[in-house]
Amino acid sequence: MTMGKLIDLTGQRFGRLTVIRRYGTIRTEENIYPTWLCHCDCGTEKVVTGRYLRTGRTRSCGCIQRDRYRKAVET
């Protein structure tokens, strides 16, 4: 298992998410991924891996997808 140098994401913003603090670690057979507790603009808290935050894979707690669905249904 490998884990590179930990990048402190505290206080950084990714889409609608603001990183509050380090939460824990997810371990796979190949790697170790740090997780972060984030606060979404909609008020929800979500735990996300740093990798998903930095690559843009996760940008909200899921509210972006819900907003898009609501708009699609309304039209």
User: Which structural domain, as residue segments, surrounds residue 23?
Assistant: 13-74
pTM: predicted TM-score of the whole model, two decimal places: 0.84
Q: Is residue 6 part of a domain?
A: no
Q: How far is CA 61 from the centre of its chain?
A: 7
Q: Is residue 46 part of a domain?
A: yes
Instruction: Quote helix, strand, coil % in the chain, to nearest 5.
Output: 25, 40, 35
- Separation CA 75–CA 29 (nearest Å): 46
Q: Is residue 23 part of a domain?
A: yes
pLDDT in 10s for each residue of the chain, 75 residues: 556 688 899 999 999 999 999 999 999 999 999 999 999 999 999 999 999 999 999 999 999 999 999 889 887
Q: Is residue 29 part of a domain?
A: yes
Q: On the CB side of 5, how many CA atoms lie within 13 Å of its CA? A: 1
Count of structural domains, the chain: 1
